[in-house]
Every structure is written in C-alpha cells, then in structure tokens.
Amino acid sequence: MKDEYNCLSSLISYSSLIPLPSALKDMSLAYLKEAVEQNDIEKLIRYVRLHFGDGNEETGRKEIDKAWVEALKLMLDLPATDREFILEIVATRDAATLAHLYFSLHFYFVKRSGEWIHDGEI
Amino acid sequence: MEKSNEQLRPGLWATVNERYPGSMITKDSFVPLAQLGKPLSESRFSFVSTAGVQRRGTLPFDTVHPVGDYTFRRVPSNSKPHDLEIHQLKYPTDGAMQDLNVIFPIERLQELAAEKIIGGLTTNFFSFIGYNMDAERFEKTLAENLAEAVAAEKLDAVLLSPA
C-alpha cells in the first residue's frame, strides 16, 4: 500500500520546491479556521471574494453582486414560486447542507447571467 | 504555442496561492519514485489525473465547495471521449472540450496498448479535481483511498498528470 502511495506523496512534495511570495503564505484552511475563532470577519470575507473571484478580491466582490442582481431580476414581476419547497428545505436540512446550497446557488445565478469569468466549468 | 499562452492569465503565478489556497504544501518526507521493474512492452499501465474527468451521468465533482472535493472517480480505460465530461472550475477547459486527449490522453494510451508498445492498461483510470484546500484531509483520505484503488488494479506503473 505505502509503495503505491509513494508516487502521490512525491507529487505533493514537489510543490515544496517552489518559492512562494511571502505575502501569500498565510492563505490556508488553518488561516481561515483561526479567523473564525477570532471572529475576524475581514479575513473570512476576503477569502469568499477570492474564491468567487478566482483569486481577485475585487472581481469576487463583483461576482457576488452579479449573483444577487440576477436573482433579484427574476423576482421583480412576482412570478409564482414554490415557497412550500423553500420552507421545507430550510426547515428540514442541516445548516451545512444549506451552506453548500448557498455556494451552489451563487454559481447557478452567475452562470445564468451569461457572464462567466472562470476558466473551467462547474 | 501562441494559442496556449493566451489561456494563461497575466500574473497567474503571483496569485496562485490565492487562487488555490493551501496548494503550496511543504513536506519534508520526500519519497523517491519507484523504478519500473520490467520492459514497457510488458508493463500494465494506469493513469491518474487531476483534470476532473468523469463518465457522463456520474455525480459531478463538487466544484463549488469552498474547501474542495476529496473524492475520485474511476474512468473505464476503454472509454471514448464522448463518454466522458469535465467538471473542473480552475483551469481553462476549452482545449480539452475540443479534444479530451490534450488533458486526459485516453485514446493515445489505448493506441499504445493496441500497438503493444506498452503491455496493457488497467480496467480503470482515475481522476479527481485539484482544488483541495485541506492538505491533511487530502493526504489521509483522497490520496490514501486513491492509492488503494489504483493498487487494486494490479498494475506495473501509473502515469500521474496534473491539470
């Protein structure tokens, strides 16, 4: 088992050979968990913007706005919506699943806007 | 070559850790690659890729999760490109959508096996997405599970390809 695993370990190790700008070293999962413990909202929202903006904070801010605008546009004419479905989902699903749904909906509405900044596809 | 360069974002390298948080992993336990013990023409090969390639109709990789996806997919090595699709947010997929072989050279490997240049292919190839922010989880779950699945294919060598 470990012999076969060696190749993957080597792949991970290779990245340690790459020099990294010191200002960027902090961004990691541990960094975010520490920010949660310290209630450092600025660090957390910065990461959310970086995530949605493919590494560009300002782009991420615009992407978040874009998703909300797209959602708002769909509601201005008061179309019939399945509110029972919404209430059931919110009431019966755990918060982590709803958070996952929240991230999914962001990309759904960004995709729907027709302006897709990301390199790949969801 | 000019076409390829157009796909690279300006300043990509300067922001790589912010595009892929946690990707810059430092490990001291470097393990040398294993040596191939028999001729290529007698060796059974597998292929592992971070390209996010999967069979159509299977659960898409979770490209929206802020901390990444730690699962892998088996890709039958006798698949045709039209049997497969890509779910991966973090690299330009335009070229791969035109010809999957540029990122996941499944037909080239099938040809090498058919021409007896290599001894054969495992029943399955493997793919996952490279956006994995939790390095410890990556190593202890995805890497371990994947290594076990690859080893179960009774192979002599595996080609590893980042996307």
User: What ipTM was reported for this prediction?
Assistant: 0.79
pLDDT single digits (tens) A32-64? 888 999 999 998 998 899 889 887 889 999 999
Q: Which of B17, B49, B63, B134 to mutate to test the interface with A (most CBs of A within 10 A)?
A: B17
Residue B59, classed as helix, strand or coil, is coil
Cβ of B21 within 8 Å of Cβ of A1? The answer is: no
CA-atom Rg of chain A in angstroms:
19
For CA atoms B130, B131, B133, B134, give the dihedral sign.
negative
Single-letter amino acid, residue A55? G
Tell me the pLDDT tens digit for each residue of B66-80: 899 999 999 999 999
pLDDT reported for residue A55: 78
**In Å, how far is A64's CA from the nearest CA of chain B?**
14
Cβ B34–A50 below 8 Å, yes or no? Answer: no
Quick one: CA torsion of A47, A62, A120, B124, rounded to 10 degrees?
Answer: 40
| Integer CA distances (angstroms), A78 to A73, A90, B35, B138, in order | 10, 21, 66, 45
pTM for this prediction: 0.81
